């Protein structure tokens, strides 16, 4: 059996939908359908039967699914082992990251990374959801904040600071906060409508906690950045996103004498897979890049 066709069958079986499998893999629905037809011809039996609005595995499909998972896992293990011997990462590296972090962290380091590893092809998914790495065949995901207990392995990349920012025009109109608690007198914009705490640490290592009730909710930091640049309120941005706007004079970092709150950045991958050389070199390159910005 063709391993690519077997992988397509596995994705279809996990989603029970050609359309869903197409969205998950980024493969055209017609290609998945042809792969399924080839497998069924080789086996001499139908693998799925159609039920209203879904697919259902046949007996042959259920038997093949048990072995397909094992075969694909073994192939991934073999590839990882061969890469470690040859020292040359190759193949497709599928990465998942939230939109802001795909734009601000991953994309800037990719040109150099791809020149360094010419036999690698990158598939970068930029979307604001938590992907299931095993089911969606994602090699590595970028996650921000505390890591919950799971069967994923998390490799710490570094930390990012959350800088409170506003535009020069807004500050000219409303004044510049001198202490963290001055923020309560300003129009605050946040990523969530839930009450939250903004933390700042002064030179004596005393933490200042500001209870924040935001006027407007903008969950995507890259969108919040545009709103702030255009003179509407105070908000927090990841340092790597805010820095270019500050250098160009579009934003001002508020309370620079205070240490801003930090969050950890992790690269995560499925525990049942070996750390392949393509994932390892990507994690190493992203760690260096994050440390340099």
Domain check: are 166 and 257 in the same one?
yes
Helix/strand/coil for 118: coil
The pLDDT of residue 149 is 60
Residue 128 or 164, more confident = 164
pLDDT of res. 177? 96
| Non-local CB neighbours of 132 within 8 Å, separated by 6+ positions | none
111 and 186 together in one domain: no
Whether 238 and 162 have beta carbons less than 8 Å apart is answered as: yes
Return all residues near 85 (Cβ < 8 A) that are at least 6 apart: none
Looking up residue 168, the CATH number of its domain turns out to be 3.40.190.290
Examine the domain organization and report whether 188 and 59 are in the same domain: no
Q: Which residues contact 243 (CB under 8 A, 6 or more apart)?
A: 293
Cα separation of 63 and 44, whole Å?
A: 14
Query: Are the C-beta atoms of 127 and 98 separated by less than 8 Å?
Result: yes
CATH number at residue 136: 3.40.190.10
Whole domain around residue 21: which residue ranges?
3-84
Asked if pLDDT for residue 19 goes beyond 90, the answer is no
**Range of lowest pLDDT (77-81, 149-153, 184-188, 241-245):** 77-81
**Which DSSP state fits 189?**
E
Number of folded domains in the chain?
3
pLDDT tens track for 165-189: 999 999 999 999 999 999 999 999 9
DSSP state of 181: G
- Tell me the two tokens of residue 62: 């259920």
Q: Which H/E stretch holds residue 152?
A: strand 152-166
66 in the same domain as 133: no
Cα separation of 263 and 236, whole Å? 12
State whether 212 and 253 are in the same domain.
yes
- Label the pairing between strands 262-270 and 140-144: antiparallel
Same domain, 177 and 126: no
């Amino acid at each position: 059996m063709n391993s690519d066709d077997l992988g397509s069958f596995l994705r279809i079986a996990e989603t029970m939908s050609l359309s869903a499998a197409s969205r998950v893999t980024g493969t055209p629905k017609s290609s998945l359908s042809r792969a399924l037809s080839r497998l069924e011809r080789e086996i001499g039996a139908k693998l799925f039967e159609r039920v209203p609005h879904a697919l259902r595995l046949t007996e042959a499909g259920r038997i093949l699914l048990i072995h397909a998972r094992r075969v694909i896992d073994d192939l991934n293990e073999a590839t990882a082992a061969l890469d470690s011997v040859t020292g040359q990462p190759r193949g497709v590296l599928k990465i998942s990251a939230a939109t802001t972090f795909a734009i601000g962290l991953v994309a800037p380091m990719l040109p150099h990374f791809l020149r360094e590893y010419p036999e690698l092809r990158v598939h970068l998914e930029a979307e604001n959801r938590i992907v299931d790495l095993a089911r969606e065949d994602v090699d590595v995901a970028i996650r921000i904040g505390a890591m919950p207990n799971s069967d994923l392995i998390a490799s710490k990349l570094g930390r990012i600071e959350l800088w409170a920012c506003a535009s020069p025009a807004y500050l000219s109109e409303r004044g510049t906060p001198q202490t963290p608690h001055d923020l309560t007198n300003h129009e605050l914009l946040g990523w969530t409508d839930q009450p939250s705490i903004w933390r700042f640490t002064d030179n004596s290592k005393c933490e200042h906690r500001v209870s924040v009730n935001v006027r407007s909710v903008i969950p995507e930091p890259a969108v919040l950045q545009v709103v702030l640049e255009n003179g509407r309120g105070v908000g927090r941005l990841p340092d790597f996103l805010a820095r270019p706007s500050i250098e160009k004079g579009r934003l001002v970092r508020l309370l620079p004498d205070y240490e801003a709150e930090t969050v950890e950045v992790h690269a995560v991958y499925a525990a049942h897979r070996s750390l392949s050389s393509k994932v390892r070199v990507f994690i190493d390159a992203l760690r260096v890049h994050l440390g340099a910005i």
